[in-house]
Structure 1
Amino acid sequence: METSKSARMATIRKNLENPWKQNPWFESVAVAQQRARKRLPGPVYGALVAGSERGQTIDDNQRAFTEIQFAPHVAGHQAERSMATTLMGQEISLPVVISPTGVQAVDPEGEVAVARAAASRGTIMGLSNFASKSVEEVCAVNDKTFFQMYWTGDRDVMVQRMQRAADAGSKGLIATLDWSFSMGRDWGSPEIPEKVDLRTMVRMAPQVATKVGWLWRFGKTGTIPDLTAPNLAAPGAAKGPTFFGAYYEWMTTTPPTWEDVAWMCEQWTRVSGGKPFMLKGVCRVDDAKRAVDAGVSAISVSNHGGNNLDGTPATIRCLAAVAEAVGHDVEVVLDGGVRRGSDVVKAVALGARAVMIGRAYLWGLAANGEDGVGNVLDVLRSGIDSALLGMGLSSIDQLSPDVLEIPDGFHRALGVPAQHRH
């Protein structure tokens, strides 16, 4: 009995010393998700997986990829394969970039850890203006950082935020306009505290006390999860608003018009000296054409990962029509449901320059910090390479719809009159 107790205590001490040493590498994004679920307090994990309302869109984002099939070759495979490309003026080693996501409290280093991992794998970091780390900190560790903004605050405030991002070294701007922050979830919404203080920690202690690895990560750095947004801080202010303060600013800002989108492009061009501008959240062909007219450099075919209007089709269903309509004018990327390298290949074959990932790297961050994010990118790279090998291709530039088997009725041409669809 005493020996058994001593053994248990020795295991606990070993886990507390460094719980991350136990089999840190994972072979798939699915395993990263499993580890994130085990490590994170319930509300934190719930915030990463939840979609709006019944979750129809978040499910379709992933399910749609399974409807597309490959037709592999049995011989004639290429010994060397390249997946390097360029996106918005940046050379990247694979067609996968980091999508901006808000307050990354799953790890004490948050966005800085993600940015370092992306830099080590030669790709772009998207940084949310709702992030928990400043644009200056993130640009310092990844010189391929793109700053993201919502349409929040008055025009003077928005220009000030653009100028700050440009001064910090941001290589481009991402404007996200598809966000409605739907609160209604059929399974219930996870609790997001206004701030993490002593009262909050006491109240939520039962949900976090058993998460030894998560607590150890924060305890090691002597920090607690920071739910403020430094990139929304007023000039000279010590701290930015809380998440709910940022939400209130968005909620009280009049929604943008297409003239406002053009104004954002013009202002970013002015303060940055002509660096690229991406509009994120496009699902319709008519919106894509209006975005081109407004002056954007790139668009992201995105439905906010299923966290916006539930019932929106999977982005991979909408991609081909948008890419066909505007792909010769601007660069097109896809965001939504990417979990495997084969998903990346399918998106590129249907006209995407690259894909943006969100939940996948957040699970990696929760599972193993910076190394976990790098692990996710490595898993996707390996999957891309396997797909290219199987189809006998030597480069992602050779991908086209011809390498895919796509069922009838798969594509969605939103914003196109019915008589013009094909």
Structure 2
Amino acid sequence: MYKETSVSETYPCLQFDRLDLSGADDCSTRDENILAYKRIRFRPRMLRDVSMMDIRTKLLGTEISFPVGIAPTGFHQLAWPDGEKSTARAAAAMNTCYIASTYSTCTLEEIAAAAPGGIRWFQLYIHRNRGVSQQLVQQAEALGFQGLVLTADLPYTGKRRDDIRNGFRLPPHMKLKNLEGAFEGDDCSEYGLPPNSLDPSVTWNDIYWLRSLTRLPIIIKGILTKEDAELAVRHGVQGIIVSNHGGRQLDGGPATIDALVEVVDAVQGKIEVYLDGGIRKGSDVLKALALGAKCVFIGRPALWGLAYKGEEGLQDVLRILQDEFRLSMALAGCASISEIGRHLVQFPKL
């Protein structure tokens, strides 16, 4: 649907439709994120009363209208002039959670002001200049963001061949607003930052450093194994997002839906587990919840909605997923979120 937008006319060098779909190396993990859902089959139950449906759920105690939020992605002004302000308004209108990226093209103040009553988390990359990261965390808390999402899978940027092939660079007039002035005098990469600005020395011990900066609940994004899930519990975080960065980091890693069960089993209900990657239909949402996710977050589909018609287009995407999820639940015989469980799905025999 993004073919109908003026994005390619505004930024013809960006080839937005290709860049939006790119992953790392051969894009095998990106593609597997979607294909893995097709291998999972439902075990629907019949003659269940689904005349009244309740699709609400809670994230760390805060109620949202249905279990789909907006994942952190950068550079929203590439898709729509109002950028992340439109994203925040759409999420608030649908009463769901928006995770704002460190690499937003709107400031945290602008995002907060765009949707004053919205449910917002802030996604953090830790930079070598720890003062920059510290300031962002404390600013987010002061502005009323309700959660801190630490991305753990990007000590270095993956090799994104399509971006290299297309010669992707941020347009010169577009800035990473939350980092303006932080790296003055440095040569910047195609993403608007110095090539070595991220801190590759970050470890689990830095959770304690983050905890010293904020009272916000901490969610770790990028967990794919039981070993790391157990470490997350041990270090006292409040949530995990099972994520492979949309297949844009280590190519050849597992699809997130395939990694989900391992992570859910490892945490034993002690913290909440969410998922992103590959969600394209309401039935995908149902499969993720059946395997133990509390909520899913969408990345690329949110950008497609923005590119189509800004805030209105993103609301359309969320409504489509909401309606499809409600219908999938009903056809599977579930009238409420609490009735969804592993009994609802089966995997193919190996």
For normalisation by structure 2, the TM-score amounts to 0.90
- Cα deviation for residue 389 of structure 1 reads 0.8
Partner of 1:296: 237
Q: 1:334 aligns with which of 272, 275, 278?
A: 275
Percentage of pairs with the same residue: 35
Paired residues for 1:81-230 under 5 Å: 81-104=53-76, 105-142=78-115, 143-179=118-154, 180-185=156-161, 189-196=165-172, 226-230=173-177
Contact map agreement 2:219 2:239 (CA 8 A) in 1:
yes
- Cα deviation for residue 62 of structure 1 reads 0.1
Paired residues for 1:214-253 under 5 Å: 226-234=173-181, 244-251=191-198, 253=199
Cα 1:247–1:288, aligned 2, differ >3 Å: closer, same or farther? farther
Q: CA RMSD in A?
A: 2.2
- Cα deviation for residue 191 of structure 1 reads 2.4
Write the letter of the residue equivalent to 2:149: I
Distance (whole Å) between structure 2 residues aligned to residue 228 and residue 38 of structure 1: 17
Paired residues for 1:371-382 under 5 Å: 371-382=312-323
Contact map agreement 1:133 1:229 (CA 8 A) in 2:
yes
Contact map agreement 2:256 2:275 (CA 8 A) in 1:
yes
Distance (whole Å) between structure 2 residues aligned to residue 353 and residue 136 of structure 1: 29
Residue 57, structure 1, aligned to residue 29, structure 2 = yes
SS at match of 2:69: strand
Partner of 2:202: 256
Q: Deviations over 1:40-96 (max 9, x none)?
A: 745222221101111100010000000011133453341011110111232100101
- Cα deviation for residue 194 of structure 1 reads 4.8
Write the letter of the residue equivalent to 2:167: E
Distance (whole Å) between structure 2 residues aligned to residue 369 and residue 83 of structure 1: 25
Distance (whole Å) between structure 1 residues aligned to residue 150 and residue 84 of structure 2: 18
SS at match of 1:313: coil
SS at match of 2:141: helix
Higher Rg: 1
Distance (whole Å) between structure 1 residues aligned to residue 52 and residue 179 of structure 2: 46
Partner of 1:386: 327
SS at match of 1:153: coil
Distance (whole Å) between structure 1 residues aligned to residue 258 and residue 2 of structure 2: 25
Write the letter of the residue equivalent to 1:288: A
Contact map agreement 1:147 1:170 (CA 8 A) in 2:
yes
SS at match of 1:250: coil
Distance (whole Å) between structure 2 residues aligned to residue 49 and residue 186 of structure 1: 9
Between 104-113 and 258-267, the greater mean CA deviation after superposition? 258-267
Cα 1:288–1:250, aligned 2, differ >3 Å: closer, same or farther? farther
Write the letter of the residue equivalent to 2:166: P
Partner of 1:69: 41
- Cα deviation for residue 131 of structure 1 reads 0.5
Write the letter of the residue equivalent to 1:86: K
SS at match of 2:165: coil
Cα 1:289–1:74, aligned 2, differ >3 Å: closer, same or farther? closer
- Cα deviation for residue 112 of structure 1 reads 0.6
- Cα deviation for residue 38 of structure 1 reads 8.7
Distance (whole Å) between structure 2 residues aligned to residue 37 and residue 322 of structure 1: 41
Contact map agreement 1:117 1:373 (CA 8 A) in 2:
yes
Would you say how many aligned residue pairs link Structure 1 and Structure 2?
339
For normalisation by structure 1, the TM-score amounts to 0.75
Contact map agreement 2:160 2:248 (CA 8 A) in 1:
no
Partner of 1:399: 340
SS at match of 1:344: helix
> Tell me, which stretches of 5 or more residues in structure 1 are unaligned?
1-31, 197-225, 269-273, 410-422
Write the letter of the residue equivalent to 2:266: A
- Cα deviation for residue 245 of structure 1 reads 4.2
SS at match of 1:320: helix
Partner of 2:252: 311
